[in-house]
Structure 1
Amino acid sequence: MQRITYRVKVSAQGAKRRISYLLRPSKRLLNTKSNLVTSVNPVTSSRFARTKKLAQVSSIALLSLPAESFTTMDSQVPTYDHVMLENTLTIAAVPGDSTYFATDGFQHGFGYDLVRTYADELGVDVNLKAYASEKAALRAVKSGNADMALTTASTQLKSQLNLSSVNVSCGYDASLTKNGLHPKVSWTFNSANDPLSQKASYFLCDSIKLENTQKLAAFYNQNLLKDAYSQDHFQRTLTEKLPDYQSSFEEQARNYNHDWELLVAMGYQESHLDANAVSPTGVRGLMMLTNNTAKAMGVSDRVDPYQSIGGGARYLEQMKSDFADVPKTDRIWFALAGYNMGPNAVKSIQRKLRAQGIDDKSWANIYAYLAENRASNSRYGQAMHYVSNIRSYLETIKTQTV
């Protein structure tokens, strides 16, 4: 066994030396007079440089393959090297409450957020391709049209296509099911030996990452409107009350560049669309504005529905501006958290994360911090539920499941 291992290492080292030798300029060219060197066609030089780069990538790819691959002549460049060369991770995904949600400019989701975090760790962009079925998404990976798939496909289907997958919960399925998510959300790859698959497995199953995955699952909890009472109340409110205010929501949304259904979701969270609502702390109206916020937003009558919706829309736009440096995909969650607990409180959390070397512009990291510290600060727990609930209401309104 030791002898076999040694031969593989020698073969790998030999391959690397041979490729390096081939890429090395010949001594004859190095000794050529300078006037001949400067006369080389720039296009030819550029082509040679690109060919050399591809050869270097290919040499890395060959050396990263399993030992038996050195005996074959048709070895392909690993998907990982292709992703790094193109600086893009292409995902084949099927929309769903456990994978991703994309409607009217809102693109998010439990599985999608995990993929974005993985891409950030690799230092590449994400290109998401939507497919109507899990089989179609998996075939995209098989044919090379996608680098990986995000699905809830069965093990049998993945086996039929001879694909390898990693469960995003890394075996802790209960952390997903208790939040109403599919227990078998997975990332699927062409080969288990590809570094892209291997790195994904390490990424998902790292103890710290796994803990954050479980917290992210709590944010994407799908149980909020599952019970009959909640469903009935939500449906009756939208059926009986929304028609009275819909034109106001639509107009104020246009005034402040919002999606009007997002404002509806906020209104339901704040007051269940009750224009006369009053809380024990003194906030009032459909959007439950404080007296100070109402004055700052130019609202003279907090129980006037049109003014209340306008004040809430204007304040939300201000929050979005305060977090303009946050990527658009996560910005709305930051803005909603700022709307609920104040922008300075959110920015304080960001500073603490930055001090720890943690990405402070990722909502997953902000949410994880809120979850970890909510016992010591009740506002953190409130903000968690506030943002998560609005996300759930918005998705329900968008998909018209009520």
Structure 2
Amino acid sequence: MLTPICRHFIARSSQYFALTAIALLVMIPTFSFIPEGEHLGQIRERDFITVHTRNTPTTYYEGRHGPTGFEYELMRQFADSLGVSLNLDARHHAGSVLPAVRDKGDLGAAALPLLPDTPGILYTRPIINMQPLVVYRRGLYGIEAPSDLVGLSLGTLNGAGTSKALRALQREHPELSWRESRELEVAELLAQVENGRLDAAVIFDHQFRINRLFFPDVERGFTLGDPVSMAWALPSGRGLGLLQAANRFLENLQQSGTLDQLVARYFGHDDYLEYVGTRTFLTHLDARLPRFTDDFKQAAETTGFDWKLLAAVGYQESHWDPDAVSPTGVRGLMMLTRPTAKEMNVDNRRDPEQSIDGGARYLRSLMDRLPEEITGDDRLYMALAAYNVGLGHLYDARDIADMRGASPNRWADVREALPLLQQREWHSKTRHGYARGGEPVIYVRNIRRYYEMIEYVERSRQQFFQLEQTPINADSLLMFELVPPLD
């Protein structure tokens, strides 16, 4: 069953569309006849490009610093390359993007599969490959091969590209059937698997990596068929200028390595989920964090940090346990040492309010003591590392980075230098000597991931109604169209 936190993340599609609608400009123009080659010119003349997309973790969503998402980054950079503004219409599901592109233009960017024979649509060059993946409910056994899907209640999204693999499989196993939905999104489909409405589903591998945090009772199964190319969709019959510009942009992005960097940033974090213990984290998010949320918010107001960042530090330190004690005598929710507690005027380290306040002020003091040349997120990550390993060892790592010809002001370079504090060759050259320098690297990485998870859940609470307000019942299967077995 879903945890209460996960329930915040799921809503019926009608609610979903009501809450995710966004238009950065007021009007979405419809196109009359546009002579060959003039579409791109018209976009430049009106000074914006309309992109039809979906509000999902893999495409576009509102993040900590505003709009973000893998395809949003691509859309924004493409609009910049054209010298125009970006006008988003995110009121879509997988099956409604292409009709909108045909009827209104200008471009569809929504994890679209490249299907060359689609009437009225032109596709760009491939952007990334998307591998269909079978996922199933924890507790079901023997789902190891395509033939095991026969007889299961199986679902997928219509128009997403996964149906192609299922239809190919059906030719080998004519008795196979499944259900397709034009209205649900990936998270809602996974919820159907978790709550028992479906036994299994077919989505894309990168979509599962992004969403699996919220569905600990959904298991990864096996890949199905060949990868599908993701591409952008444009209306046909309106000239090739926009298509050529998009292809040049995507080619340059690939050749420069920028595309690979974006893929790694948005889809390359699957490995950390097992490390942090997804199920434990979600349990504590439900059972422990609410008790301390007001204290984190008060400390954030005092120190200028995001309260969710302070909460992430608290989870890394103690799993939000105010009675936690380390073998070295560090204790409390923020695991303060005696000297640090004294410096921060904390007289009871086991008092969660005092511990959170003292830990937040100590983190602020570390940031304030860093050289002014360290800016932005680099400054935050180095302060977090110093919270773990001490400011002296952080300065030593900066010195090592400098010795190696790297920048002592960039976290990426200091992160590489910190583990060298464990090697005599390097720590013998520093002021403070040996340190377990690998630990602060993991420490900062974990806090960043915990923060992302808390941020993601909090954003989901704001975007969606609670599932229990509109419980999903057996009628929810009416949102699917049955694809019957072959005769």
TM range (shorter): 0.5 to 0.7
Does the CA contact (< 8 Å) of 1:270 and 1:287 recur in 2?
Answer: yes
Structure 1 residue 286 and structure 2 residue 247: aligned? no
Aligned to 1:40: none
Cα pair distance change 1:305/1:251, threshold 3 Å = same
User: In structure 2, what is the Cα distance between the partners aligned to 1:189 and 1:105?
Assistant: 29
Q: How does 1:38-53 map to 2 (within 5 A)?
A: none
2:356 aligned partner, one-letter code: I
Q: How does 1:79-228 map to 2 (within 5 A)?
A: 79=40, 82=43, 86=47, 91-102=51-62, 107-116=67-76, 126=86, 128-143=88-103, 147-156=106-115, 159-169=118-128, 177=206, 180-181=209-210, 186-190=231-235, 193-194=241-242, 195-206=244-255, 208-217=257-266, 221=269
User: In structure 2, what is the Cα distance between the partners aligned to 1:265 and 1:234?
Assistant: 11
Aligned to 1:276: 323
Give a deviation string over 1:260-293, Cα, whole Å, max 9, x none. Answer: 4454344323321112334567754323456676
Segments of 5+ residues of structure 1 without an aligned counterpart are 1-71, 361-365
User: In structure 1, what is the Cα distance between the partners aligned to 2:122 and 2:310?
Assistant: 43
Cα pair distance change 1:367/1:216, threshold 3 Å = farther
Give the CA deviation at 1:162: 0.6
SS at match of 2:108: strand
Cα pair distance change 1:178/1:126, threshold 3 Å = closer
Does the CA contact (< 8 Å) of 2:113 and 2:230 recur in 1?
Answer: no
User: In structure 2, what is the Cα distance between the partners aligned to 1:218 and 1:76?
Assistant: 36
Higher Cα Rg: structure 1 or 2? Answer: 1
Tell me which of the two structures has the higher relative contact order, counting C-alpha pairs closer than 8 angstroms and 6 or more residues apart. Answer: 2
User: In structure 2, what is the Cα distance between the partners aligned to 1:184 and 1:320?
Assistant: 48
Shifted more, 254-263 versus 264-273: the winner is 254-263
Q: 1:242 aligns with which of 282, 285, 289?
A: 289
2:91 aligned partner, one-letter code: Y
User: In structure 2, what is the Cα distance between the partners aligned to 1:321 and 1:85?
Assistant: 49
Shifted more, 307-316 versus 208-217: the winner is 307-316
SS at match of 1:153: strand
Cα pair distance change 1:299/1:114, threshold 3 Å = farther
Does the CA contact (< 8 Å) of 1:118 and 1:203 recur in 2?
Answer: no
Cα pair distance change 1:236/1:317, threshold 3 Å = same
SS at match of 2:291: helix
Does the CA contact (< 8 Å) of 1:370 and 1:381 recur in 2?
Answer: no
User: In structure 1, what is the Cα distance between the partners aligned to 2:246 and 2:309?
Assistant: 37
Segments of 5+ residues of structure 2 without an aligned counterpart are 1-32, 134-203, 212-227, 421-436, 468-487
Q: 1:341 aligns with which of 382, 385, 391?
A: 385
1:75 aligned partner, one-letter code: E
SS at match of 1:134: coil
SS at match of 1:268: helix
SS at match of 2:52: strand
Does the CA contact (< 8 Å) of 2:49 and 2:79 recur in 1?
Answer: yes
SS at match of 2:109: strand
Structure 1 residue 308 and structure 2 residue 355: aligned? yes
Does the CA contact (< 8 Å) of 1:138 and 1:149 recur in 2?
Answer: yes
User: In structure 2, what is the Cα distance between the partners aligned to 1:334 and 1:316?
Assistant: 14
2:110 aligned partner, one-letter code: T
Cα pair distance change 1:293/1:185, threshold 3 Å = farther
Aligned to 2:452: 391
SS at match of 1:131: strand
Q: How does 1:15-26 map to 2 (within 5 A)?
A: none
Cα pair distance change 1:113/1:326, threshold 3 Å = farther
Structure having the higher strand fraction is: 2
User: In structure 1, what is the Cα distance between the partners aligned to 2:343 and 2:310?
Assistant: 19
Does the CA contact (< 8 Å) of 2:130 and 2:206 recur in 1?
Answer: no
Does the CA contact (< 8 Å) of 2:308 and 2:451 recur in 1?
Answer: no
SS at match of 2:277: helix
Structure having the higher helix fraction is: 1
% identical equivalent positions: 26
1:151 aligned partner, one-letter code: A
Give the CA deviation at 1:102: 1.7
SS at match of 1:383: helix
Cα pair distance change 1:152/1:217, threshold 3 Å = same
SS at match of 1:163: strand
Does the CA contact (< 8 Å) of 1:263 and 1:313 recur in 2?
Answer: yes
User: In structure 2, what is the Cα distance between the partners aligned to 1:197 and 1:375?
Assistant: 43
- What TM-score do the two structures reach when normalised by structure 1? 0.55
Cα pair distance change 1:304/1:380, threshold 3 Å = same
2:457 aligned partner, one-letter code: T
Give a deviation string over 1:329-386, Cα, whole Å, max 9, x none. Answer: xx6x55652442259979x79x99xx99xxx9xxxxx897789889867354543343
- What TM-score do the two structures reach when normalised by structure 2? 0.47
Does the CA contact (< 8 Å) of 1:269 and 1:390 recur in 2?
Answer: no
Q: 2:298 aligns with which of 251, 269, 287?
A: 251
2:209 aligned partner, one-letter code: G
1:383 aligned partner, one-letter code: V
CA RMSD, aligned part only?
Answer: 5.5
Cα pair distance change 1:370/1:199, threshold 3 Å = farther
Give the CA deviation at 1:96: 1.7
Cα pair distance change 1:314/1:241, threshold 3 Å = same
Shifted more, 247-256 versus 281-290: the winner is 281-290
